[in-house]
């Protein structure tokens, strides 16, 4: 089975590919000739994932899936949430977002946070949703060199290491994206 993953984020593509069985081949937006940036204009994680999946299905005619992820920090009232990728502003680096988060959390006692991923799948004219949540906390400092985004400052509940200190395989077993992808894969097993 071939599915378009509506993303040009090389880190996400690598992570998703590592989680899928060999029977499912992933095509990136680049692979299908989609060079435009799909603007995330919705105010929910589900809304943005749906927007991206629908854009590819309508414009290119492919069965596809898209995801959106947000980091929700309890002490910040659930922020940055849907704005996680642009928390420190437009066109910022992962490092700038992580540094802003560390600064915002500097004096906070409550460091509880969770990552939430929603995957929207458009398949044979129908739409399906899968989600994954990973609870944890924001660390006081950065730890590790792996992963991307907030991985160096997010320690999942029940673990001593941040996502950035874990292997891709280890992270994939417990992460928000990994959990959502498992639901997607289990659903697709019947379709392959």
CA 73 to CA 71: how far, in whole Å? 6
**In which band, very low, low, confident or very high, does the pLDDT at 192 lie, cut at 50, 70 and 90?**
low
Total structural domains in the chain? 1
CA 123 to CA 8: how far, in whole Å? 20
- Predicted pLDDT at 9: 83
- Predicted pLDDT at 14: 86
The share of the chain scoring above pLDDT 70, in percent, equals: 99
Q: Count the helix, strand and coil residues of the chain and give each as a percent rounded to the nearest 5.
A: 40, 25, 40
pLDDT at 108 over 90: yes
pLDDT at 43 over 90: yes
Mean pLDDT for the stretch of residues 134-138: 98
User: Would the pTM count as exceeding 0.85?
Assistant: yes
CA 18 to CA 142: how far, in whole Å? 25
Between 65 and 21, the higher pLDDT residue: 65
CA 163 to CA 172: how far, in whole Å? 10
- Predicted pLDDT at 11: 84
The share of the chain scoring above pLDDT 90, in percent, equals: 80
**In which band, very low, low, confident or very high, does the pLDDT at 16 lie, cut at 50, 70 and 90?**
confident
> Could you tell me the CATH number of the domain that includes residue 9?
3.90.950.10
Are 185 and 20 spatial neighbours (Cβ–Cβ below 8 Å)? yes
Largest CA distance in the chain: 50
Q: Which domain holds residue 24?
A: 2-189
- Predicted pLDDT at 78: 96
Name the phi and psi angles at 166, rounded to 5.
-100, 155
Average model confidence (pLDDT) across the chain? 94
Check residue 38 and report its DSSP letter.
Answer: -
In total, the chain counts a number of residues equal to: 192
What residues are annotated to the active site?
68
Q: For 49-92, how does the pLDDT look when each residue is reduced to its tens digit (9 = 90+)?
A: 999 999 999 999 999 999 999 999 999 999 999 999 999 999 89
């Amino acid at each position: 089975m071939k599915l378009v993953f509506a993303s040009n984020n090389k880190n996400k593509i690598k992570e998703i590919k590592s989680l899928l069985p060999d029977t499912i081949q992933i095509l990136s937006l680049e692979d299908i000739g989609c060079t435009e940036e799909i603007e995330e204009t919705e105010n929910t994680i589900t809304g943005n994932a749906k927007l991206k999946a629908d854009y590819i299905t309508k414009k290119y005619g492919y069965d596809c899936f898209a995801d959106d992820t947000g980091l929700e920090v309890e002490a910040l009232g659930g922020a940055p949430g849907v704005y996680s990728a642009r928390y420190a502003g437009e066109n910022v680096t992962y490092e700038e977002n992580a540094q802003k988060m560390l600064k915002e959390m500097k004096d906070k006692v409550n460091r509880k946070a969770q990552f939430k991923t929603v995957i929207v799948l458009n398949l044979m004219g129908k739409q399906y949703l899968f989600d994954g949540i990973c609870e944890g906390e924001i660390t006081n400092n950065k730890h590790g060199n792996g992963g991307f985004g907030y991985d160096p400052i997010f320690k999942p509940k029940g673990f001593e290491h941040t996502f950035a200190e874990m292997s891709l395989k280890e992270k994939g077993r417990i992460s928000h994206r990994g959990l959502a992808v498992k639901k997607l894969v289990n659903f697709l097993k019947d379709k392959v």
